[in-house]
Structure 1
């Protein structure tokens, strides 16, 4: 280290009786080096590093290198670092061919030697040839190392790297936590990728008015791999999540009714993967008016106030969701709850409560009952609540129809006291 500091140049130690490929490399590329000292050792063989071998890329540029690796000892390995520099955020695509190695590792590291991706091939047979790629590695501007690590050093490899600068409409790393989330807009697609099983992508968006939201995720068919997609509030609390499996190439979340505010989408791999998984994210958002349910309304104290004889549209967005509505009767009344929905396979349960949350009546609407009037009930003037729960995320329409009580008919009289 003292000598390296004094010479202000790299030092390579090598035994003259070992590693012919390294000596040939130095001889071939000696014009690229300055004041190099060579030394030897018994552990990993590392070829001299040229800091600009791949150097600074231009967008769309491909650079490659081919090496024939040979060694007299089989208990040693070959390691080579290619230093590259990306002038702006974008994606890196790596294509490679390998032949006659018992093991081969392709690794990309940041400048601090933190591993970004690693692709390994183990227990390869003699003369085994592999052509493969590791694409869609999205990286921020900076310097990186593409590392090749080979075992049974009697083989050849070719490696190609292509850099593509990406602008609006593409994920920008690093966005691995809520603080570094990419800012996106509803109804505009963005393309991103999970480049290994540790990668997590966060996106931040704002709704200026209440409305309905569906999270749409498209991707190629990935077989056993897939994505886990979560919607979070501004305090990082989960609102909803869904799995987009490898076969689910065009997935949607349930319809989510949200108040205005700031939210986050979190995307991660659903199963361990050692290949990049590219996706396209879109937030399908529609502004909704006063005749639509407003979340959160899961508890009686958060109930939406509704008027009698007017239709309101809502939906059950998860199995834990329950929708509360509040009505005020300024006089004794007979009410009939009308409940509509498209044909489905599940059922809804509707409750009528008094002002103290005591149940008065329970109703059911099955999937085939697309337009149903429940039995009327007479109520005294006052404050009441209606709740809806179920397992179907279809939109429903609810209308509390009100008329004067039929007090002349003692048989139908059902005035409930507060």
Structure 2
């Protein structure tokens, strides 16, 4: 093959157009340069024809894939072993250094024939075992058939594990059904933001409870104690259709209230607690009450969520799976990019909070996708000033998530 063809002889090795208005001349293409082009082109053609000839292929001007075919034929004509084939063959072999003549617990070694023959010769034969064990009883703390049957009767029959809710007092709901039937993090709005609302009077707070649009939420009124709240006491709010319920307690032990109402009415209930009621003066509960002696087999307590219909989740696992408990906000800004799909590899849900920001005259937008579903979309107009869009969302375990925006990511935090 010829040496690399020299470039056109100009200061920057590039062609330039002439400019009649300034008298600037265009690049002069010399016969030498064109001859170099012709020679280089013919040299490349000859190299390619030689490859085709090596593969026994005649040049065909109607085809444009003959070089690829020739290379494939040349490579395929050789009896070569692939890397995968060689690696697979070697992995099936045993290194002689791993054949041991001594007993041990090394999982990477195998016994020699001499060691195997010697050690198996020390074992009792089937005939010797049959003769020696005849008429013998097992030693140790073994249960009799009667005792075993009695203990098995105390266990919960698997047919009593059901997959739905109901009124039976003898059946239990499986782990799988409980996971599917009960409310999860983020369902119906639960687990959303909390907020401090302005100091509202009783009339103003009652009106707010009636017109609240969220299904569930947690907030607090910073006004002094009123009929429907305690100052700085968290209010847990639930709404269905046009009726609602709110629970609140004083952080300083001042009391507990339950508020229920609709668009036209509101009722307040004060709960008895150990602050205003002594149960020992009115109720006596026997320590030996059979109704209080229910037991659960320890082997049926599992440490994670799943589909088992006979196990229950432990307190520790429930605490771990609870969003926000023992979790911390982690700055993932440097590890996250736009239009890139990530997977929540944890066995619990994570909460994500981020914002994008840019100076724009055309506006910016932000889209959140979880498991291929568009769950949030924000748009803001541009006026030449810096604008920002925020997004907060929950990602279940094993789910994928991505962010699309025409603005840059400024902060990306994950509660995990």
User: What's the TM-score once normalised by structure 1's chain length?
Assistant: 0.21
Q: RCO (CA 8 Å, sep 6+): is it higher in 1 or 2?
A: 1
Q: Please, what TM-score do these two structures have when normalized by structure 2?
A: 0.21
Bigger CA radius of gyration: 2
Larger strand proportion of the pair: 1
